[in-house]
Amino acid sequence: MRRSKYTRPAWLGEQGEGGQDTADKPRLTTSAMIASLAGPDQRTKPAPFGHALAALAESRPEIVGLTADLAKYTDLHVFAKAHPDRFYQMGMAEQLLISAAAGMAREGFMPFATTYAVFAARRAYDFICMAIAEENLNVKIVCALPGLTTGYGPSHQATEDIAIFRGMPNIAIIDPCDAHEIEQAVPAIAAHNGPVYMRLLRGNVPVVLDEYGYTFEFGKAKTLRDGHDVLIVSSGLMTMRALEAAEALSHDNVDVGVLHVPTIKPLDEATILKEASRTGRMVVVAENHTIVGGLGEAVAGLLMRSGVFPTAFRQIALPDEFLDAGALPTLHDRYGLSVSAMTRSIKGWL
């Protein structure tokens, strides 16, 4: 049930009564646009994408960076500072951003174009489709605020970006989990010859996967943790959450494995089928995306087509709704993406 403009928040009381006790007031406020996803004790790295791209550009003179008035908010400012003559500020014009990136790719350059995921997926779709994907051009589209990573409300919540890009031929979709993976994914997507859409965690980004001896490989899913009862298949920040949920569930004697799938298209079908074929495990796909058309449905379709039927199949994903504005921790809890919500869901399904 969405909030209504005709109803005041309950804790404010009736109009004219004045507020209730401060103890009842919610403490959380709408996340700032540059708020970090990191927990209080989590290790982080600043702007991993910007630093990785600036470093890669030292040895790849064809790399240029373009943005639509969001350099600071996509960490591209780090690249712009390191390589000012290779940075193109295209202004608040996403159709132009994408078209110009396509034109530069046609002239032999490798543009990294950045904006928010909503603006690439929704506003610039036709331009990405016809100018870049149809031509299979070497443009890398790197977008902050994927899925539910801001409390700003539906205008900035790209809850359907993966569904949109999965329907577009030729373009690869990458959903990295943490700073460690972003640093490795930048050279890997540059090495891939073709268009790429990468979801970006920006600002102070948690570092998690280094503890698992993990390396990113384009198109590869990797098992981070083994478990006999449940297999969580996840991408992006949900892999962080899955690892924490697995740890929490282990205290309840629930043995949870985690398969991280950072390349959503092309999907690593062999690894997913191998892991999902193991008998006796419930498969739970966890994604920071609407339940429609994302990793969950991609995996479900794969399993059905291949005749692989796990003990049970469940999805942890955002509802098919326009989501609330509010503080991100509140929203992740409300929509089932927080560690505690995931743990509750999985226990309920067992």
Partner 1 sequence: MPRAPQPALSNVSLVDRAYRIRRNALRMGEVQGQGYIAQALGIADVLAVSYFHAMRYRPENPEWEERDRFLLSIGHYAIALYAALIEAGIILDDELESYGTDDSRLPMSGMAAYTPGMEITGGSLGHGLGLAVGFCLGLKRKQSSSFVYCLFSDGELGEGSIWEGAWSASHWKLDNLIGIVDVNNQQADGPASQVTGFEPLEARFESFGWHVQRVNGNDIDALVAAFDAARNLAEPKPRIIICDTKMAKGVPFLEERERNHFLRVEPHEWRKALELLDAGRTA
Residue 165 sits in the site that holds partner 1 (CB under 8 A): no
Nearest distance in Å: CB 82, partner 1: 17
* Token pair listed for 82: 């390191």
What is the spatial order of strands in the sheet that 222-225 belongs to? 222-225, 256-260, 230-234, 282-290, 312-318
* Site size with partner 1, rule: CB under 8 A: 26
Report how far apart, in Å, the C-alpha atoms of 207 and of each of 128, 149, 216, 285 are: 31, 17, 14, 22
Residue pair 288/319 in contact by the 8 Å Cβ criterion = no
Report how far apart, in Å, the C-alpha atoms of 163 and of each of 39, 143, 153, 259, 330 are: 28, 15, 19, 20, 25
Contact letters (x/-) for partner 1, 135-154, by CB under 8 A?
Answer: x-------------------
Residue 109 sits in the site that holds partner 1 (CB under 8 A): yes
Residue pair 239/148 in contact by the 8 Å Cβ criterion = no
Instruction: With CA atoms as reference, report the closest residue to 142 among 112, 181, 109.
Output: 112
Nearest distance in Å: CB 49, partner 1: 22
| Residue 58 main-chain phi, psi, to 5 deg | -60, -40
Contact letters (x/-) for partner 1, 42-81, by CB under 8 A?
Answer: ----------------------x-----------------
Q: What three-state secondary structure class fits 31?
A: coil
Which residue in 44, 95, 170, 271 binds partner 1 (CB under 8 A)?
95
Closest to partner 1 by CB, 55 vs 93, is: 93
Which residue in 112, 127, 214, 218 binds partner 1 (CB under 8 A)?
127
Residue 126 sits in the site that holds partner 1 (CB under 8 A): yes
Which of 95-103, 203-211, 249-257, 276-284 is the region at the interface with partner 1 (rule: CB under 8 A)?
95-103
Residue position matching structure tokens 């016809």: 130
Query: What is the spatial distance between Cα 239 and Cα 233, in angstroms, rounded to a whole number?
Result: 8
Report how far apart, in Å, the C-alpha atoms of 31 and of each of 47, 246, 324, 330 are: 18, 27, 12, 10
Peptide bond into 266 cis (omega under 30): yes
Residue 182 sits in the site that holds partner 1 (CB under 8 A): no
Which residue in 69, 134, 229, 333 binds partner 1 (CB under 8 A)?
134
Name the residue type at position 312: A
Nearest distance in Å: CB 195, partner 1: 14
Segment 240-269, which members bind partner 1 (CB under 8 A)?
none
* Token pair listed for 95: 């159709």
Report how far apart, in Å, the C-alpha atoms of 5 and of each of 8, 9, 12, 18 are: 7, 10, 14, 19
Residue 121 sits in the site that holds partner 1 (CB under 8 A): no
Nearest distance in Å: CB 105, partner 1: 8
Residue 87 sits in the site that holds partner 1 (CB under 8 A): no
Closest to partner 1 by CB, 47 vs 100, is: 100
Nearest distance in Å: CB 242, partner 1: 40
Residue 91 sits in the site that holds partner 1 (CB under 8 A): yes
Which of 17-25, 72-80, 98-106, 288-296 is the region at the interface with partner 1 (rule: CB under 8 A)?
98-106
Binding site for partner 1 (CB under 8 A): 64, 88, 90-91, 93, 95-96, 98-109, 111, 126-127, 130-131, 134-135
